[in-house]
Amino acid sequence: MRILLVEDDQTTAKVVISALRSAGYIVDHETDGKEAWFRGETEGYAAVILDLGLPCMDGLSILKKWRDGGQDFPVLILTARGDWNERVEGIDAGADDYLPKPFQVQELLARLRAILRRSAGQSAPVVTIGSVRLDTRQMTVDVDSVPVHLSPQEYRLVRYLIHHAGRVVSQLELTEQLYAQDFERDSNAVEVLIGRVRKKLGVDLIKTRRGFGYIVNKTES
């Protein structure tokens, strides 16, 4: 999943980026408010971690413009400001959660997982579809209670498709969500990745919709 981090403090950004990448996310980073607003308007993100105190345009203004423009990705506000009135204003502006600084990285990751689940209509960190069980906390996949050993990229693919179960996901969307922008991508990279994952899972979880993309149904027999 591709996450946009909007944070102008380089020390904080470095820590958060490292933690997000270790947790299997693709991360884009912006320090400028106007640039961040533009990227949120024009690129597809699974979620945004947004600082409030930014140059050029403050975080609340960015959030309001995104919501007014119809952008519905979940937003976790990350800020050093502790005024409860400001927290209320952030939630009212369309934020999904609010984490004041200083913070523990594990709490940030837990809150991010929670807003991603809620955005997909899921309440639990463990999702079971048929014989396949995905644990987003442990970053593991089981089939019939037997662990499936996936590479980080293979896990990200399964997680993204299950997160969007019931919706056809195009090859272009998967490419954008699974690969960093500076990664040299083969035209058939997603197809090869899908093939490897299907072989490892050994079950018909990922279905192809010719000309449209791939889908994981919400329930499997």
How confident is the chain (221 residues) per 10-residue block, as mean pLDDT? 94 96 93 95 93 91 93 89 71 88 93 89 84 92 96 93 92 86 68 95 94 86 44
Angle (CA) 136-137-142 rounded to 5° is: 55
According to CATH, the topology of domain 126-215 is Arc Repressor Mutant, subunit A (1.10.10)
Contact at 8 Å (CB) between 158 and 3?
no
Rounded Cα–Cα distance for residues 34 and 15 (Å)? 23
Residues of the chain with CATH 3.40.50.2300: 2-119
Counting beta carbons within 10 angstroms of the beta carbon of residue 207, is it exposed (0 to 12), middle (13 to 18) or buried (19 or more)? middle
Q: How far, in Å, are 28, 32, 163 from residue 199 at the CA level?
A: 31, 44, 20
State the pTM of this model.
Answer: 0.77
Query: What residue spans in the chain does CATH classification 1.10.10.10 cover?
Result: 126-215
pLDDT of residue 137: 85
Q: pLDDT digit string (tens) for 43-62?
A: 889 999 999 889 999 999 99
pLDDT at 221: 44
pLDDT, position 186: 62
Percent of the chain with pLDDT over 70: 94
Beta strand 75-79 pairing with 207-209: unpaired
pLDDT of residue 128: 93
- pLDDT value at position 161? 95
CATH topology of domain 2-119: Rossmann fold (3.40.50)
